[in-house]
Structure 1
Amino acid sequence: MPKFVMDKIEFLQLLEKYNAGLANAEEIAFLNAYYDLFDQEEDGFAQINSTQKNVLKNEIAEEIKSQISVLAQEEIKSLPLFVKYKWLAIAAVLVLISSLTILFFNNESPKEQIVIANPKPVKNTIVPGSNNAVLTLANGNQISLNDKENGVLASQSGVIITKNKDGQLQYQIKANAPAGINTISTPRGGQYQLILVDGTKVWLNAASSITFPTQFKGAERKVEIVGEAYFEVAKNANKPFKVKSKNQIIEVLGTHFNVNTYDDEAADKTTLLEGSVSVSKIANGKVQTATSKILKPGQQATVNANQSQILVAIADEDEAIAWKNGYFKFNKADIQTIMRQVSRWYNVDVEFKGEMNKDLFVGKINRSEHVEEVLSILERSKINVAIKGRTIIISN
């Protein structure tokens, strides 16, 4: 595909050409890509008025249906999106995965420009993570979960541990079985799912662990986590479910929420999707009940070890559970935040050289892509990227 560079006037001329039925397949593909960005980042499209925007959205929506065969021949499909913010300027990058075509907005120059270019070929040397974990039983024995077939994996003191047809670890308890403590740990480049004995479903992200009893006796159901996990807690009004991490404890009766407690992140974040949870800060090994906050669906609690209060704000739910749904999503994230996620999922080290890049990014991309595909987005944003073995070097 040739490279397009155009200012506002040229873009409107292309729009008129399209409306007149004179646009070629490449120009239609360009407008398709632009159309896909409308609802993702409104600020990036101040250069056209609402009437023109609606014309483009409505007409291209119809044209997409009639141009499928043409676009297939051009090998153009949609589309993860990355948007780059620089100070008050906005740059947007749209990656069309199949052809690796990128749409780039840059309002830093006196002329507003739109650029489409082709990135470098993907080398496919570093593959994404997969279902991979280690189960540590109460007796200390360890079971590797990445290569186990479905069926019974272990039986301990009346507790039967199986791997079901969906690849989830599941616990079943015989009557009067004693409770033991188990731990499931994922490495960098791993993830796993399990169902606790009470029916609670847990998704573990990379470089994470959950420690739990094989059955919940007493007045509560309590687990401990490191890293990141998503919970769908089975309802039990008589036995609250508690999730403990280094800096906080979360109490629920039955709900869906995500907890991010990685040590290399600035704070612990709990995002509520359904139900209600109470979040309390832990300091010096003690629960600070005076700090407790009750979350409503759509809210996120931030616990910082260096701050006395818990902050509650509106959450980006899709961003919080993107990893669980199989993709990366960033909402004005800096390069360090992006690369921490890349490091965990692709099991790579990251090295920064020179002045730290201050750009912010918005967008998403499938976690099944090879790491070079993710990095090509950064390269199109004028960030220098090099791979040496399993180390990614970022420089300006």
Structure 2
Amino acid sequence: MKYRKASKLLYKYLYGKPTDEEKARVEKWYAAADGMPSHVDQDALNNIKEQLYQRIRAGLQTESSIVPFYKHYVFRIAAAASILLLIGIASWYLITKKPLTNKKDQVATRSQKNDVIAPVINKAVLTLANGTRIVLDSASKGVMATEGKATVTKLNNGQIAYKTNGHDEIRYNTLTVPRGSKPVQLVLADGTEVWLNVASFITYPVSFTGSERKVQVSGEAWFHVAKNKTMPFKVVANGVETQALGTQFNIQAYSDEPAIHTTLLEGSVKVTGHNNAVIIKPGEQARLQQDCSSCMLNVANVDTDEIIAWKNGIFLFEKADIRSIMRQVARWYDVDVKFENEISTRFGGTIPRDVNVSKLLSMLEMTGHVHFKIEGRIITVIP
């Protein structure tokens, strides 16, 4: 079994719903680790975790020698209230037996005032058709606004939902999620579910009329489109149009990313950009380079778990370069990032998105291939 599959299996064991067979397999590897005292100090515990990782890697017959980029927090779940599962430097690019750099002292001496916590509130703003702005975190649960024949409601789980009592003149609302906010869930008037990531906005009609349902997105959003064969659902993002009837897909269209990505999870969608159209299947991604008028849409198979990791509350990196990682960090923690020099290493691993930024950076530092300096809300990346 490939190393990536080992990572996904361990993550599923900790955070998902493993089958009885999968659960038994992981626990069998755990039980096989030598010396498992019930009370050990932190250094001994870290050693046990590393033993487990090596046992699991051997049990899965990993083909390459992989150096993990953190201490592996994989041990008995009953005692794992704060487990962080971060599994490995990507073996495709970093195949070495170099030991982990011990950053414990460095991390411990970081001033807490220089740390940045993960988003704890929803900073999203809803802009109504008349220009009124509603800060969602401050809004009470229940009906927030009436837009013609449509009502806008904040549900108990914080989700924003639209309900219409008939056709009306077209009115548009815009939902904006700034950097440093939690993502927002939205239910459109037709029942389509939307998750809007940070540093993103979506503009949409409060009710759908005519022959199509069309919304505009900037940033990143996941859609579960309500089925309506007579009224196709279209998403326009930076000049790329995605059309669906009833399906699940993710669109990433950040202006600071090199390409616009449409990834299909379920159903079928047609993606159009630069007078070029493709139809993609589940597990495929259509990509269009930005700032390139002559570029065509390309289709490739991708790991959909990585694509929607943000929606599931985790960072999941697979063969990721440091600049793409830090773009995610900048948006999530609302920080600015500077680079002292280029770093060619590719990284892989998984960590919950609710940790402070210092925790994420310290895990990356343990590879010995990258270092960081935090000064207020500015992070400097150092080779």
Superposition TM-score, scaled by structure 2 size: 0.79
Which AA in structure 2 matches 1:234? Answer: A
CA distance in 2, matches of 1:81, 1:20: 19
Cα deviations by residue, 1:158-200 (Å, 9 ceiling, x for unpaired): 2210001121111111234322011001110122111000000
Q: Is the 8 A contact 2:100 2:367 kept in 1?
A: no
Indicate yes or no: 2:364 matched with 1:359.
no
Q: 1:30 aligns with which of 47, 50, 53?
A: 50
Match of 2:116 among 111, 115, 126: 126
Structure 1's 40 and 251: CA in aligned 2 closer, same or farther, altered over 3 A? farther
Pairwise CA distance, 1:210: 0.3
Q: Partners of 1:20 and 1:230 in 2: how far apart?
A: 40
Q: 1:77, CA displacement in angstroms?
A: 7.1
| Uncovered stretches (5+) of structure 2, i.e. residues with no partner | 1-30, 68-73
Q: SS of the counterpart of 1:319?
A: helix
* Alignment partner of 1:348 is 2:327: no
Shift of 1:336: 0.3
Q: Which residue of the other structure, out of 249, 252, 260, is the alignment partner of 1:260? A: 252
Q: Which has the higher strand share?
A: 1
Q: Deviations over 1:138-167 (max 9, x none)?
A: 111111112222111111222210001121
Q: What does residue 302 of structure 2 align with?
A: 315
- In structure 1, how many angstroms separate the alpha carbons of the residues matched to 2:321 and 2:100? 23
Is 1:297 the counterpart of 2:317 in the alignment? no
Task: Give the stretch that moved more between structures: 216-225 or 302-311.
Answer: 302-311
Counterpart pick for 1:385 among 362, 365, 372 = 372
SS of the residue corresponding to residue 329 of structure 2 reads helix
Q: Deviations over 1:25-70 (max 9, x none)?
A: 63543312334556999344489xxxxxxxxxxxxx9xx67xx78x
- Which residue number corresponds to residue 324 of structure 1? 311
| Aligned CA distance change for structure 1 residues 222 and 36 (closer, same or farther; 3 Å) | farther
Do the aligned residues in 2 keep the contact of 1:29 with 1:76 (CA within 8 Å)?
A: no
The alignment partner of 1:42 has SS state of coil
For 2:364 and 2:316, how far apart are their aligned partners in 1?
14
Is the Cα–Cα contact under 8 Å of residues 82 and 361 in structure 1 kept in the other structure? Answer: no
2:156 is paired with a residue of what secondary structure?
Answer: coil
In the TM superposition, what are the counterparts of 1:205-220 in structure 2 within 5 Å? Answer: 205-220=197-212
Question: Secondary structure at 2:138's aligned position in 1?
Answer: coil
Q: Is the 8 A contact 2:161 2:188 kept in 1?
A: yes
Q: Which of the numbers 362, 371, 377 marks the counterpart of 2:357?
A: 371
Partner of 2:330: helix, strand, or coil? helix
For residue 53 of structure 1, what is the aligned residue in structure 2? none
Of the three residues 273, 277, 289, the one matched with 2:269 is 277
The residue correspondences of 1:190-229 to structure 2 (distance < 5 A) are 190=181, 191-229=183-221
Q: What is the one-letter code of the residue matched to 2:286?
A: A
Contact preservation (8 Å) 1:38, 1:45: no
Alpha-carbon separation, structure 2, partners of 1:44 and 1:314: 23
Q: CA deviation at 1:309?
A: 1.6
Distance 1:194 1:219 in 2: 22
Identical pairs, percent: 40
Kept in 1, the 8 Å contact 2:221–2:251? The answer is: yes
Specify the code of the residue in structure 1 equivalent to 2:116: I
Distance 1:304 1:202 in 2: 24
Range with greater deviation from structure 2 (180-189 or 376-385): 376-385
Partner Cα distance (2:207, 2:32) in 1: 65
**Is the alpha carbon distance of 1:324 and 1:114 closer, same or farther for their aligned partners in structure 2, counting shifts above 3 Å?**
same
Structure 2 Cα separation of the partners of residues 333 and 226 of structure 1: 22
Summarize the alignment of residues 102-113 of structure 1 with structure 2, pairs less than 5 Å apart.
107=96, 112-113=97-98
Query: Does residue 163 of the first structure (1) align with residue 157 of the second (2)?
Result: no
Q: Secondary structure at the match of 1:84?
A: coil
Q: Which moved more, 1:31-40 or 1:357-366?
A: 31-40
Unaligned runs of 5+ in 1: 1-17, 48-60, 91-106, 283-287
| Counterpart code for 1:302 | R
The structure with higher relative contact order (CA 8 Å, sep 6+) is: 2
> Matches of 2:33 and 2:61 in 1, distance apart?
28
Deviations 1:109-152 (A, max 9, x none): xxx35548563237373111242211111111111112222111
Aligned-residue RMSD, C-alpha: 2.8
1:76–1:118 Cα change, 3 Å:
farther
Secondary structure at 1:81 match in 2: coil
Deviation at 1:87, TM superposition (A): 7.9
Verify the 8 A CA contact 2:195 2:221 in the aligned structure 1: yes
Distance in 2 (alpha carbons) for counterparts of 1:341 and 1:264: 11
